[in-house]
Structure 1
Amino acid sequence: MLALAPAGPASAETTGELIDPETITAIRDQMTSGGIAPEAQDALIAKLQAGEPLDSMIGAEPVDTFTVDLPNATRTVSEFADGSRRWIDIEKPTTLSAGTVSPMSSLKGCTLSGLWRINCKLGVSDAITTASFQFDYRIAQTKHDASIRDYRAQTCGNVFGPCSVKGGIKRATQNSAGPAWAAMTYTAKINKTGTTVQSEIGIRVQDTTVSTY
């Protein structure tokens, strides 16, 4: 879910190239981490230089979606017609060793504790922005009672400067209205004229099925 807010009139300070060389380097690094080929990066940077948002930023339908198995996370990649990508990572839970006793606050990373997955992080990235939040979730066993708790540690980073975030738990426990659900909305600039995009990431847990968007 994305929305675009137009910038106001350009001032003398914001005319000319919209992206400086240092920012272009940061954007290329971000694109490379998402698997975007160098030749596609050139076209996408030219689009941003012209003041246009990428398809991945404005809610366009992806032309392809696929999953990548990373060492510590499962990544879902959406690829768009202009060559841009948006990728969502959800941490894989690891299991505590038998007999381990540790306060939950001291655990690092997504940890499996019974039916609960503790300290898990959901993150999203595109060419210019990264955003994430942490939470705990529990899959259902015999009842339809999958749950999400303790939404926390929301973050957002943007190559053009600050971005704002807002989120929380929308449905703590699965019920007849739908799955357990947590989500975060973030707003970020896409060029130095002040044009912004807004997007949402979320996790839903229905019985034993976990889905992200």
Structure 2
Amino acid sequence: MAVTMTEPVEDRDHGDDEERAWIARCLAGDRAAFRPLVTRYARMVHGVIARLAPEADVDDLAQQTFLAAFEHLDQYREASRFSTWLCQIAVNKVRDEHRAARRRPELRGDDDYDMRYEEGPEDQALGREHGLRLAAALAQLGAGDRELLVLKYVMEEGFETVAEILGTSVGAAKVRALRARERLRRILSGGGAYGRRD
């Protein structure tokens, strides 16, 4: 299944009191209280991972993200939204996957092709074509550029949140976004990325 670049982003104004209560119950030993958090943020986590690492096993990385969040819930600080903290974990899991993939030998066979984008009549729709073209262009960018653009323009996070997730300053995030958009523009216009930056 291909992920389009226009899927709605999870509502950010969920009841914070309810969320705090679930977190408090988890920290007190009620493991079942984590389930509503998974339900609330599963779509967001899957979306972030699918856009940052479309070649990865999204379900596996999402599961790793939620497991890490559960195991390290005591490290969550309410200075940031829980969704921001969770998104940061997902980005880190994608980074871990990219590092691991670089260490694995690449095996190619005659049947090595991507079935997710198999041609069909529905593929002729302009919106789908645009989404695929954008996804392909994003895949040509380095991981850092891709992370920033997905968080800012697909997940619609503010620069403060993007900077927090990526561990940089707001000013640096804005400059990186400007440069990443320019690289994406060159790719989409057929000029190439002029080298990937990971």
TM range (shorter): 0.3 to 0.5
Determine which structure has the larger helix proportion and give its number. 2
More strand by share: 1
TM-score by length of 2: 0.34
Q: Which has the higher contact order (CA 8 A, sep 6+)?
A: 2
